């Protein structure tokens, strides 16, 4: 009837993307931005969000040109081998990024909740649960986040607003001083975390004349929403910690949650409870990439069997585990990943769609 | 049947992880210091709390200190005179994240007097001092927390003034503020 | 609308009645031959269980009166209602006759007579119907389904006196030949769903069906899931209400429990009096039930996560009282919680199996005496007793027993995960439950409706979720109803 048709509603798309973008951005960006730009990091966020919106418009143009979702286009619109190559590249990108997400996620959980537990065990649990979530298809994932949206967002915003009490204006006074090179780097950093937008090409939209218009409209709201959340969080973090202290903290937003004091004795320290915010948002991002890793493998497989095969789920899952564990074991892998993400992933996501449209097969 | 095989296998993997076992300390095997004092003696920094004596005599047994409910961190006046030691202490606290960042910080002249005082009050020292400091907070500026000290260690943008308390037999008295960037006094404006 | 006069021809009348009651297997049409030679045809129609002594009595006297008369005399007597029976009244129009059947009377047609005779009957089952012991409500009917499928269909028809209410009967069980009825309102229920449920109910050859629970298990799609995918009810008003919303009811003979489909998580937390009470009260009760459902699943796990791992969440005085309570308890906290939860389940099981008054005694002995003794002997801490008791209270606030059971069973998973990994394990457990619920469906309807996919019905279904909007604002049927018949409430045009 209306379940399991590969489509998700616009409300689900909006909420899913807010989770995908907001979680990792609020967790990882502030210390790096504070290091690069200090108080002027707010411009980097605004510019990065703007760049994300422009990228989205560009993707909208690509969608219109393709006239269908990217998976169908790669099967029918371009040379078979080129299509397969792009599937493989997207699969590798998805697995690598999912591995990095799993690494960050495991780090956060170990650091904040289960310090004495083994890293490998936590990672294994996270990856196994992510695989279970992916096995339910994109719809079931979207439904989880549709339900959880306000349960996550309202406490987060409430906690951030409560932190205003300890805000020090002196820490944000230098907002007018900025270095354009660092601002550029900061903007790129913000944009890097908006790259999951690329996967909007795979969303199945209505077969309208202007294909993808609704998808772009919906996701642009998610980008703006996440941008505002990130901006507000950054200003509050800056005002609470100061730029240099912010840069020295591992997960400043979690630290902030542990310092917020409410009147009375009941809500003393909410950091453990508030970790649910990043638990769900990071799971959203991990699931997004693992989902596309699995899906690309499915697209590359022969089409006889419709249902997802066990090995199609298992192989990317194991790969994600190995990537995350390798990053944990050796920092050089982390640097390699960051190098790939900074110099390889973004050009790929920008150039390849346009290239595919240019070399499309003539009907 | 095949449909469920994948989900079942994943659930079995998850369930088998339960066998790894847990490493938690039971509630009754913990003790909760409400106040920790940082003492400076013979060129060394040491941490004292209500359980230190029991710890020294072995009465505390295998009980683990849980600082999650630490209310006040008390610095001995002498420590502030040793800038390098003070900074090393902050460095250590930032690294280990041993104490909660929202712990209030104050300075006293003599830590031994403080622990002596505990015998004469009806509640634990940490809660007593927290309530005492909060009463003053209502009248004056926001009290400083460990988080403020750690932030300022990095930012170096503000001069922080810690409450300075004088310990009497069974009460404390607010004397004024101590500048953390060196021992400079500021007389209390509050009575 | 123009009413249809009753015809003189018996065949036309029978056709009209059968057409109006097509797919209504609970309608009985009994043909009769009347008069001296038995050459005058007639028939009596009635809803099956409504035929009682009165009908037999009145009809018997009428037939005895007509027995010795010629054909012409029969017709004349019926026309003139010459039986001198005060109970018998004539109908001129077919619609009135049909309504007469629907309200529980029998109607007598005779060939050559352009009118029908109403024979007042016992009406729908009343006195034989017991009070509902489960799913109790503060306001509303106390009637409960009986063990007869026929009586149960009549109890629904009593509330929906419409020929559009269809009852499709068939037998299941190669040896028991148990009657199973699918009840729905034509035009409101999705036709594909009717076909699907029929196919699923007849998918297996089974020796016998002793209760609707057997059919439920055989027809479920995700049979490994702890969550029920059929809603069950013992209340005819609930069944009737849901049928009007486009749901389908399955009744099994010898079972007082009806199955409703499709269902969703919200349906399990609703009660009938949510609609009988004003919306403030209904909303408040629903919020309480949702919170109760959450704590029924999570409270012991949360307790373990907070006391063994993340003590910072608790206020200091509360933590200190927990700490004090744990002193001298010989078991680790996780084992203590587990033992108490299992003891509670034991008391519950013992209480259910014993006869009424003894069951209550077990509750008192187990809950109060053993509980207090265990605390005094320092076997368990009083806090754990409070946690377990509160969790039990929360699970009792869930109106549907099967749904409450899934929470009770999953609570143990959360206890294990929280004891192992603290709040991280707790979150993993919650996430797994959510993912499972999100992938679950009841006859193609997402289980998490109306919180997901509400867009498909213009967000109207959300008006009847945790917050129950005023009735005048709930004007649309839920998503599973026939898309062309979604309006269920509108203001009359003046």
SS3 string, C258-322, reads EEEECCCHHHHCCCCHHHHCCHHHHHHHHHHHHHHHHHHHHHHHHHHHHHHCCHHHCCHHHHHHH
Domains of chain A by start residue, with CATH: 10-358 (1.20.1740.10)
Q: Indicate yes or no: CB of B100 within 8 angstroms of CB of A313.
A: no
Residues C256, C286 share a domain: no
Residues C216, C178 share a domain: yes
Torsion, Cα C248 C254 C255 C258, to 10 degrees, reads 10
Q: Does A255 touch chain B (CB under 8 A)?
A: yes
The two structure tokens encoding residue C6? 């009753």
Does some domain include residue C268?
Answer: no
Chain C residues whose beta carbon lies within 8 Å of the beta carbon of residue A279: 424, 427, 431
Strands C106-110 and B185-187: unpaired
Across the interface, of B7, B20, B66, the residue whose CB is closest to C311 is B66
The single residue listed with the structure tokens 């390798």 is A326
Percentage of chain B lying above the pLDDT 90 cut: 16
Average pLDDT over residues B38-50: 84
Contacts of C196 (CB under 8 A, 6+ apart): C443
Q: Nearest-CA distance from B178 to chain A in Å?
A: 20
pLDDT, residue C180, reads 93
Q: What is the mean pLDDT of chain C?
A: 87
Is the predicted pLDDT of residue B179 greater than 90, yes or no?
no
Q: Which domain holds residue C289?
A: 276-445
Assign C339 to helix, strand or coil. helix
Q: Indicate yes or no: CB of A248 within 8 angstroms of CB of B9.
A: no
- Please tell me what DSSP assigns to residue C327: T
Residues C305, C238 share a domain: no
Does some domain include residue C125?
Answer: no
Long-range contacts of residues C399-405, Cβ cutoff 8 Å, at least 24 apart:
C399/C135, C399/C268, C399/C269, C399/C270, C399/C271, C399/C289, C400/C135, C400/C228, C400/C231, C400/C232, C400/C268, C400/C269, C401/C134, C401/C232, C402/C228, C402/C232, C403/C227, C403/C228, C403/C268, C403/C269, C404/C296, C405/C226
Size of interface B-C (CB pairs under 8 A): 53
What gap in Å lies between CA C134 and CA C106, rounded to an integer?
33
- The ipTM is 0.93
Percentage of chain C lying above the pLDDT 70 cut: 95
The single residue listed with the structure tokens 């109607």 is C107
Does some domain include residue C270?
Answer: no
Burial A121-138 (b: 16+ CB within 10 A, else e): bbbbbbbbbbbbbbbbbb
Closest C-alpha among C78, C75, C138, C85 to residue C112: C75
The single residue listed with the structure tokens 């989770």 is A19
Contacts of C160 (CB under 8 A, 6+ apart): C185, C240, C243, C244
Across the interface, of C309, C332, C416, the residue whose CB is closest to B18 is C416
* pLDDT greater at residue C89 or residue A324: A324
Residues C170, C244 share a domain: yes
pLDDT digits (tens, 9 = 90+) for C51-61: 666 677 777 77
Does some domain include residue C351?
Answer: yes
Please tell me the total count of domains within chain C: 4
Last residue of a domain, one of C228, C263, C298: C263
Interface-testing mutation among B27, B31, B68, B124, with chain C (most C C-beta atoms within 10 A):
B27
Contact B36, B74 (CB under 8 A): yes
Residues shown for chain C:
494
Cis, bond preceding C262 (omega within 30 deg of 0): yes
Interface-testing mutation among B6, B22, B25, B61, with chain C (most C C-beta atoms within 10 A):
B22
Contact B145, B104 (CB under 8 A): yes
Helical (H) or strand (E) element with A14:
helix A10-37
pTM of the full predicted structure?
Answer: 0.88
Residues C113, C233 share a domain: no
* pLDDT greater at residue A326 or residue C10: A326
What does residue C110 show for φ and ψ, rounded to 5 degrees? Answer: -130, 140
Q: What is the mean pLDDT of chain A?
A: 89
Q: Indicate yes or no: CB of C316 within 8 angstroms of CB of B34.
A: yes
* pLDDT greater at residue A264 or residue A342: A342
Residues C223, C245 share a domain: yes
Tell which A residues from 132 to 161 touch B, by Cβ distance under 8 Å.
132, 135
Does some domain include residue C293?
Answer: yes
Residues C403, C312 share a domain: yes
Does some domain include residue C126?
Answer: no
Last residue of a domain, one of C64, C97, C119: C119
Helical (H) or strand (E) element with C433:
helix C401-439
What gap in Å lies between CA C236 and CA C243, rounded to an integer?
10
Does some domain include residue C137?
Answer: no
What gap in Å lies between CA B170 and CA B172, rounded to an integer?
7
Cα diameter, chain C: 99
pLDDT digits (tens, 9 = 90+) for C311-351: 988 888 889 999 999 988 999 999 999 999 998 888 888 88
pLDDT, residue A78, reads 87
Q: Does A280 touch chain C (CB under 8 A)?
A: yes
What gap in Å lies between CA C115 and CA C101, rounded to an integer?
15
Chain B residues whose beta carbon lies within 8 Å of the beta carbon of residue C419: 22, 24
Average pLDDT over residues A200-208: 79
pLDDT, residue C392, reads 92
Contacts of A268 (CB under 8 A, 6+ apart): A261, B69, C312, C313, C314, C315, C316
Residues C471, C441 share a domain: no
Residues C401, C314 share a domain: yes
Is the predicted pLDDT of residue A306 greater than 80, yes or no?
no
Quick one: pLDDT band at residue B18, thresholds 50, 70, 90?
low
Tell which B residues from 4 to 33 touch A, by Cβ distance under 8 Å.
5-7, 9-11, 13-14, 17, 20, 23-24
Residues C77, C112 share a domain: yes
Residues C329, C227 share a domain: no
Is the predicted pLDDT of residue C132 greater than 50, yes or no?
yes
Chain C residues whose beta carbon lies within 8 Å of the beta carbon of residue A117: 421
Last residue of a domain, one of C100, C119, C138: C119
Q: For B156, name the nearest residue in chain A, comparing CA atoms only.
A: A244
Touching partners of B (3+ C-beta pairs < 8 Å): A, C
CA B120 to chain centroid, in Å, comes to 22
Chain A residues whose beta carbon lies within 8 Å of the beta carbon of residue C479: 2
What gap in Å lies between CA B65 and CA B60, rounded to an integer?
10
Across the interface, of C319, C328, C422, the residue whose CB is closest to B69 is C319
The CA-CA-CA angle for residues A184, A189, A193, to 5°, reads: 145
pLDDT digits (tens, 9 = 90+) for C146-191: 888 888 998 998 899 888 999 998 989 888 888 899 999 999 999 8
* pLDDT greater at residue B89 or residue C1: B89
Side-by-side strand order, sheet with C248-252: C165-172, C178-185, C248-252, C258-261, C231-233
Closest C-alpha among C61, C248, C253, C54 to residue C152: C253
Q: Does A245 touch chain B (CB under 8 A)?
A: yes
Residues C453, C422 share a domain: no
What gap in Å lies between CA C165 and CA A188, rounded to an integer?
64
What gap in Å lies between CA A151 and CA C466, rounded to an integer?
14
Cis, bond preceding C450 (omega within 30 deg of 0): yes
What gap in Å lies between CA C233 and CA C219, rounded to an integer?
17
Q: Does A166 touch chain B (CB under 8 A)?
A: yes
Could you please report the per-residue DSSP string of B67-99? GGG--EEEEEHHHHH-HHHHHHHHHHHHHH--S
C319: left (phi over 0), alpha (psi -120 to 50) or beta: alpha
Chain A residues whose beta carbon lies within 8 Å of the beta carbon of residue B157: 170-171, 242
Q: Does A125 touch chain B (CB under 8 A)?
A: yes
What gap in Å lies between CA A290 and CA A314, rounded to an integer?
11
Q: For B144, name the nearest residue in chain A, comparing CA atoms only.
A: A166
The two structure tokens encoding residue A280? 């769900």
Could you please report the per-residue DSSP string of C109-145? EETT-SSEEEE----S--TTPPBPSSS--SSS--B--
Residues shown for chain A:
363
Q: Indicate yes or no: CB of C422 within 8 angstroms of CB of B24.
A: yes
């Amino acid at each position: 009837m209306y379940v399991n048709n590969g489509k998700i509603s616009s409300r689900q798309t909006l909420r899913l993307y807010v989770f995908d973008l907001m979680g990792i951005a609020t967790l990882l960006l502030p210390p790096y931005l504070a290091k690069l730009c200090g108080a002027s990091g707010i411009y980097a966020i605004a510019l990065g969000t703007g760049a994300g919106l422009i990228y989205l418009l560009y993707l909208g143009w690509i969608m219109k040109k393709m006239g269908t979702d990217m998976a169908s286009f790669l099967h029918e619109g371009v040379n078979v081998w080129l299509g397969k190559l792009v599937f493989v590249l997207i699969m590798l990108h998805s697995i690598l990024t999912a591995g990095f997400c799993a690494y960050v996620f495991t780090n956060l959980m170990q650091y904040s909740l289960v310090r004495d537990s083994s890293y490998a065990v936590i990672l294994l649990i996270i990856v196994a649960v992510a695989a279970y979530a992916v096995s339910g298809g994109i719809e079931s994932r979207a439904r989880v986040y549709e339900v959880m949206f306000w349960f996550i967002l309202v406490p987060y915003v409430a906690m951030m607003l409560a932190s205003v009490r300890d805000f020090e204006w002196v820490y944000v006074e230098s907002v007018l001083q900025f270095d354009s090179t660092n601002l550029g780097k900061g903007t790129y950093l913000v944009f890097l975390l908006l790259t999951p937008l690329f996967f909007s090409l795979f969303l199945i939209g209505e077969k309208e004349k202007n294909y993808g218009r609704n998808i772009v409209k919906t996701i642009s709201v998610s980008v703006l929403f996440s941008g505002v959340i990130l901006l507000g969080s950054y200003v509050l973090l800056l005002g609470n910690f100061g730029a240099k202290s912010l840069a020295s903290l591992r997960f400043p937003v979690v630290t902030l949650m542990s310092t917020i004091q409410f009147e009375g004795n009941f809500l003393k320290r909410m950091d453990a409870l508030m970790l649910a915010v990043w638990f769900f948002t990071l799971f959203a991002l991990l699931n997004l990439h693992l989902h596309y890793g699995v899906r690309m493998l499915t697209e590359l497989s022969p089409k006889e069997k419709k249902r997802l095969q066990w090995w199609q789920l298992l192989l990317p899952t194991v790969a994600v585990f190995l990537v995350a564990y390798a990053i944990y074991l050796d920092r050089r892998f982390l640097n390699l990943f960051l190098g790939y993400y900074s110099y390889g992933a973004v050009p790929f996501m920008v150039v390849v769609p346009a290239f595919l449209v240019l070399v499309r097969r003539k009907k | 049947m095949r449909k469920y095989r994948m989900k079942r296998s994943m659930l079995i993997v998850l369930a088998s992880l339960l066998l790894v076992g847990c490493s938690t300390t039971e509630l009754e095997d913990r003790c909760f210091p409400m106040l920790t004092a940082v003492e400076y003696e013979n060129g060394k920094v040491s941490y004292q709390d209500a359980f230190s004596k029991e710890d020294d005599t072995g009465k505390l047994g295998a009980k683990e200190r849980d600082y999650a409910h630490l209310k006040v961190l008390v610095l001995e006046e002498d420590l502030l005179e040793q800038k390098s030691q003070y900074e090393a202490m902050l460095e250590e606290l930032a690294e280990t994240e041993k104490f909660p960042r929202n712990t209030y910080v104050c300075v006293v002249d003599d830590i031994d007097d403080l622990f002596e005082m505990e015998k004469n009050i009806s509640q634990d020292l940490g809660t007593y001092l927290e309530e005492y400091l909060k009463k003053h907070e209502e009248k004056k500026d926001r009290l400083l927390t460990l988080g403020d000290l750690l932030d300022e260690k990095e930012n170096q943008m503000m001069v922080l003034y810690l409450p300075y308390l004088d310990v009497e037999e069974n009460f404390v008295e607010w004397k004024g503020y101590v500048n953390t960037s060196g021992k400079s006094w500021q007389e209390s404006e509050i009575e | 609308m123009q009413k249809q006069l009753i015809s003189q021809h018996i065949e036309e009348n029978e056709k009209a009645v059968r057409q109006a009651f097509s797919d209504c297997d609970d309608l009985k049409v009994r043909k009769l031959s009347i008069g001296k030679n038995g050459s005058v045809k007639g028939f009596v129609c009635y809803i099956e269980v409504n035929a009682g002594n009165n009908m037999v009595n009145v009809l018997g006297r009428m037939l005895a009166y007509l027995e010795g008369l010629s054909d012409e005399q029969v017709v004349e007597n019926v026309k003139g209602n010459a039986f001198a029976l005060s109970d018998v009244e004539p109908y001129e129009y077919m619609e009135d006759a049909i309504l007469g059947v629907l309200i529980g009377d029998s109607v007598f047609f005779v060939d050559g007579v352009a009118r029908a005779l109403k024979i007042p009957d016992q009406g729908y089952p009343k006195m034989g119907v017991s009070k509902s012991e489960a799913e109790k409500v503060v306001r509303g009917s106390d009637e409960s389904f009986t063990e007869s499928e026929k009586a149960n269909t009549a109890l629904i028809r009593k509330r929906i006196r419409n020929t559009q209410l269809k009852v499709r009967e068939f037998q299941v069980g190669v040896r028991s030949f148990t009657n199973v009825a699918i009840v729905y309102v034509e035009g409101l229920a999705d036709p594909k769903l009717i076909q699907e449920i029929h196919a699923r109910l007849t998918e297996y050859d089974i020796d016998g069906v002793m209760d609707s629970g057997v059919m439920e298990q055989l027809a479920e799609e995700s049979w490994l899931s702890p969550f029920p995918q059929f809603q069950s009810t013992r209340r005819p008003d609930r069944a009737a209400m849901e049928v009007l919303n486009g749901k389908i009811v399955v009744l099994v003979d010898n079972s007082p429990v009806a199955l409703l489909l499709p269902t969703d998580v919200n349906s399990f937390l609703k009660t009938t009096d949510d609609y009988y009470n004003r919306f403030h009260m209904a909303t408040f009760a629903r919020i309480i039930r949702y919170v109760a459902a959450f704590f029924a699943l999570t409270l012991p796990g949360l307790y373990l996560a907070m006391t063994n791992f993340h003590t910072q969440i608790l206020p200091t005085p509360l933590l200190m009282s927990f700490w004090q309570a744990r002193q001298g308890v010989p078991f680790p906290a996780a084992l203590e919680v587990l033992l108490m939860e299992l003891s509670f389940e034991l008391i519950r099981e013992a209480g259910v199996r014993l006869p009424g008054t003894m069951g209550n005694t077990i509750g008192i002995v187990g809950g109060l005496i053993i509980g207090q003794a265990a605390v005094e002997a320092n076997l368990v801490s009083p806090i754990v007793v409070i946690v377990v008791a509160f969790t039990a209270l929360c699970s009792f606030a869930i109106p549907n027993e099967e749904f409450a059971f899934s929470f009770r069973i999953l609570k143990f998973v959360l206890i294990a995960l929280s004891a192992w990994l603290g709040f991280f394990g707790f979150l993993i457990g919650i996430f797994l439950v959510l993912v499972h619920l999100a992938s679950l469906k009841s006859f193609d309807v997402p289980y998490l409706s109306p919180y997901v996919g509400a867009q498909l019905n213009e967000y109207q279904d959300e008006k009847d979720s945790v917050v129950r909007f005023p009735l005048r604002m709930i004007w649309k049927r839920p998503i599973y109803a026939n898309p062309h018949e979604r309006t269920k409430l509108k203001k009359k045009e003046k």
